[in-house]
Amino acid sequence: MQHLIDTLDLSDAQIAQLLDDARAFKQQHPSHLLRDKLLMTLFFEASTRTRSSFEVAAKRLGAAVVHLDPGKSSTKKGESLEDTFANLCAMEPDGVIIRHSENEAPGILADMQMTSVINAGAGNYAHPTQALLDLFTLMEHFDGKIQGKTLAIVGDIISSRVASSAIRLLTRMGMHVVLVAPKPFMPQSDLPRYERLEDVMDKVDVIMSLRAQLERHASPIFDDYEEYAEHYCINAERLGSRDILILHPGPVMRNIDISDEILEDPRCKVLTQVKNGVYMRMAILKLLLLDS
Ligand code: CP
């Protein structure tokens, strides 16, 4: 039984396989490879992209999907995460896709060895399927040649599981990663760190903009996000004619993270990331449910 808790769980060969399969799925929609499989989604935090793209991916491969809404489940009556999971597993799903606010939650469930567990985002530590779909988007754009390219992660890095997973996966794939954030959003790191976006604009091939995750701040860090935007928003003036790819995991705070104008610019791949997310998640489901 294989789980996907962190990209560190994957061998180099498995990452290469995922990229090949995602590419193949994008070129030609497959037959119902997972016809007899049942997946359950268990999202303790809000999601638009990850939950729906897992569901689309599973259904495109012929699997059935059941969603449990923790807000309307017996979690509300005090049932523990482990008991909820064990009861779902008693219905014999082939995998459970979980999002949780605690970094450790998916790993705890995986250790119970009752079904395959897929981490759909946990705390501020890991969002492995986002990192993989971003890798796919980068490989597609740069025709497989991402080694030595420089990516700047910009924004609320300290709160971001997207940033944590991207750093682990993209440095492993040979990219240079630099961090750009105001002091309260900057984590401890061995990577190059900058406070001013202007200091990296001529050095980077890719910018990954991140949302300020207000829900994870104990108290407001900025009184006014327009002040933050003045320094960190990816806008036409700041980007100019530079050949820089713009990524964002979503949801985008318009005109704070990225301007309306740049969201329409061909250099901005936000919706390509979402589209690629379906193909990468199809590849992930195939790997975990069929190939392992
Ligand atoms: N990128 C991402 O995790 O988006 P959702 O929170 O909408 O799933």
Query: What is the per-residue pLDDT across 52-83, written as a single tens digit (0 to 9) for each?
Result: 999 999 999 999 999 999 988 899 899 999 99
Testing ligand 1's pocket by substitution, the residue of 43, 45, 50, 159 carrying the most ligand atoms inside 8 A of its CB is 50
How many Å from the N-terminal Cα to the C-terminal Cα in the chain? 7
Reply yes or no on whether the pLDDT at 289 is more than 80.
yes
- Please indicate whether residue 273, judged by its CB atom, sits closer than 6 Å to ligand 1: no
- Please indicate whether residue 50, judged by its CB atom, sits closer than 6 Å to ligand 1: yes
pLDDT of residue 1: 80
Residues 6+ apart with CB under 8 A from 45: 99, 100, 101, 121
Quick: pLDDT tens for 223-252. 678 888 999 999 999 999 999 999 999 999
Question: Residue 197 corresponds to which tokens in the numbers above?
Answer: 């976006």
Give 198 Cα–ligand 1 centroid separation in angstroms: 28
Quick: pLDDT tens for 146-204. 999 999 999 999 989 999 999 999 999 999 999 999 998 999 999 999 999 999 999 99
pLDDT of residue 220: 66
Q: How far is CA 209 from CA 14, 73, 249, in A?
A: 28, 35, 8
Mean pLDDT of 111-123: 98
pLDDT of residue 243: 98
Give 48 Cα–ligand 1 centroid separation in angstroms: 6
% the chain with pLDDT above 90: 87
Q: How confident is the model at residue 292 (pLDDT cuts 50, 70, 90)?
A: confident
Which residue's C-alpha comes closest to atom 4 of ligand 1?
Answer: 49
- Please indicate whether residue 52, judged by its CB atom, sits closer than 6 Å to ligand 1: no
- Please indicate whether residue 49, judged by its CB atom, sits closer than 6 Å to ligand 1: yes
pLDDT of residue 162: 98
Which residue's C-alpha comes closest to atom 3 of ligand 1?
Answer: 50
**Do the beta carbons of residue 197 and residue 229 sit within 8 Å?**
no
pLDDT of residue 216: 62
Reply yes or no on whether the pLDDT at 11 is more than 90.
yes
Reply yes or no on whether the pLDDT at 29 is more than 90.
no
Residues 9, 221: Cα–Cα separation, whole Å: 34
More confident residue, 217 or 199: 199
pLDDT of residue 215: 63
**Do the beta carbons of residue 95 and residue 86 sit within 8 Å?**
no
More confident residue, 287 or 76: 287
**Do the beta carbons of residue 108 and residue 96 sit within 8 Å?**
no
Question: Residue 34 corresponds to which tokens in the numbers above?
Answer: 């997972």
Torsion sign, CA atoms 275, 277, 280, 282: negative
Testing ligand 1's pocket by substitution, the residue of 45, 48, 133, 209 carrying the most ligand atoms inside 8 A of its CB is 48
- Please indicate whether residue 165, judged by its CB atom, sits closer than 6 Å to ligand 1: no
Mean pLDDT of 120-141: 97
Mean pLDDT of 137-154: 98
Q: How far is CA 133 from the centre of its chain?
A: 7
pLDDT of residue 30: 76
Mean pLDDT for the chain overall: 95
259-266: Cβ within 8 A, 24+ apart: 259/233, 259/234, 259/235, 261/235, 261/236, 262/234, 262/235, 262/236, 265/236, 265/239
Q: Nearest 10 degrees: CA dihedral of 44, 45, 49, 55?
A: 10
